[in-house]
Amino acid sequence: MNDKKGKAHNPRTKVACGECRKNKRKCDGGRPSCLLCEKAGRVCVYVEDVSNKRKFVDDGLVWDLQNRIAVLESVVRQYRDTERRHGSLERTRGALVGDQVEFEQVAIDQLTSTPYAKPSSLPRSSAVTERIGKSPNADGRSAIAMEELASLLLTLDVEDKGEPSFMMSSGKSKAIEIYEQEVQFDSSAINTNVTTTTEGSLRLSLESREQLMTLFMQRFNIFHQFLEEDDTASIVDTEPESGKPDFRFRNQALFAVGAYFSDLPEAYALGSLCALSAEAMAFHCIKWHPSDLVAQGLTLLAWRELVLGHDSMAYNYIAMATGAILHQGLHVTAMSKLPGENQQGESFRRRVRSFWAYFSVDRLLTSSLGMNCTMHWQRIRMPLYLRIIKQQISIDDLAHDRFCQLWHLWDSCMDQVHAFSWSDLTSEERKALVVRSHQTLEDFYTEVDDRLSAKKDVSESIVWFQLAYHASLLLIHRPFLNEPKGSFTLSLSLRSATSAASSISRIIRGFKKQPGFHNVAPQVIDYILSAAVIHLLNATSGRTTLGRQSAKGLTSCLEALLDMNSKWKARVQRSITRIQELAHRWNVVWALPRNLSQPIELTSQPLSTDLDANTTPPLPASNRSEINNIAVDPSYPDFSFGLPMDQNLGDANLWDPQQYGGALDQIHSNWDMDLWNMDMPQMQGDYDTQWFS
What is residue 31's three-state secondary structure? Answer: coil
What confidence category does residue 414 fall into, taking pLDDT thresholds of 50, 70 and 90?
Answer: confident
Beta partners for 627?
Answer: 204
| Torsion 154-157-158-160 (CA) sign | negative
The size of the chain, in residues, is 693
pLDDT tens per residue, range 548-561: 999 999 999 999 99
For residue 516, is pLDDT > 90?
Answer: no
DSSP string, 513-529: TSTTHHHHHHHHHHHHH
**Any residues with CB less than 8 A from the CB of 20 and at least 6 apart, and which?**
26, 27, 34, 36, 37
Give yes or no for residue 523 having a pLDDT over 50. Answer: yes
Where is pLDDT greater, at 181 or 481?
A: 481
CA distance 52 to 43: 27
Report d(CA 468, CA 438) in Å as an integer: 15
DSSP secondary structure of 143-156: HHHHHHHHHHHH--
355 close to 303: Cβ distance less than 8 angstroms: no
pLDDT classification of 631: cutoffs 50, 70, 90: very low
d(CA 367, CA 152): 12
Position 434: which residue type? V
pLDDT band at 22; cut points 50, 70, 90: confident
Tell me the C-alpha distance between 44 and 28, whole Å: 12
What is the architecture of the domain spanning 10-52?
Irregular (4.10)
Contact 584, 599 (CB under 8 A): yes
Q: Measured between alpha carbons, how far is 132 from 126 in angstroms, rounded to an integer? A: 12
Break the chain into its structural domains and give their ranges: 10-52
Angle at 657 between CA 653 and CA 661, to 5 degrees: 155
The winner for highest mean pLDDT among 161-165, 491-495, 671-675, 689-693 is 491-495
User: Are 26 and 11 contacting, i.e. CB atoms less than 8 angstroms apart?
Assistant: no
Q: Could you read off the pLDDT of 441-493 as tens digits, one per residue?
A: 999 999 988 888 877 677 888 999 999 999 999 998 988 888 888 888 888 99
408 neighbors 414 (Cβ within 8 angstroms): no
Give the chain's radius of gyration (CA, Å). 30
pTM, to two decimals: 0.65
